[in-house]
Amino acid sequence: GAGVSQSPSNKVTEKGKDVELRCDPISGHTALYWYRQSLGQGLEFLIYFQGNSAPDKSGLPSDRFSAERTGGSVSTLTIQRTQQEDSAVYLCASSLSTPRQYFGPGTRLTVT
């Protein structure tokens, strides 16, 4: 594919439900990142995958958040028992060998 893709584009869920957000990085990119962007705010780092190494989970805000990256490609961010404060845009990015990151269009999550 030409760029990073994310699905769904928008997700509305009820408080307490689990959600899964998907990211498909640029083919061949070894690094994949998840960020959270609350309304009008900057990007908050969540988690980082690099090749087959253990992920850097230092940004995950609680144990309700988890992420997987299968086969070194597609990644899924899972939020369990969603809360209203989880409402935000979730951005995924990928990169190859430099700090330059290529971003997807994001998933807007609304928890009602």
Partner 1 sequence: AQTVTQSQPEMSVQEAETVTLSCTYDTSESDYYLFWYKQPPSRQMILVIRQEAYKQQNATENRFSVNFQKAAKSFSLKISDSQLGDAAMYFCAWGRGQKLVFGQGTRLTINP
Output 18 or 53, the one with its CB closest to partner 1: 53
Output 16 or 61, the one with its CB closest to partner 1: 61
- What is the phi/psi pair of residue 54, to 5°? -65, 135
CB of 81 to partner 1, least distance (A): 26
HSE-up of 27 (CA within 13 Å, CB side)? 2
Q: Which of 61, 79, 102, 68 is nearest to 11 (CA)?
A: 79
* Whole-number Å distance between alpha carbons of 57 and 36: 13
CB of 82 to partner 1, least distance (A): 20
- Which residues here bind partner 1, judged by CB under 8 A? 31, 33, 41-43, 45, 48, 50, 56, 89, 91, 93, 95, 98-101, 103-106, 108
Output 28 or 99, the one with its CB closest to partner 1: 99
Task: List CB contacts of 77: < 8 A, sequence separation 6 or more.
Answer: 20, 21, 23, 34, 46, 47, 65, 66, 67, 90, 92
CB of 68 to partner 1, least distance (A): 19
Output 28 or 42, the one with its CB closest to partner 1: 42
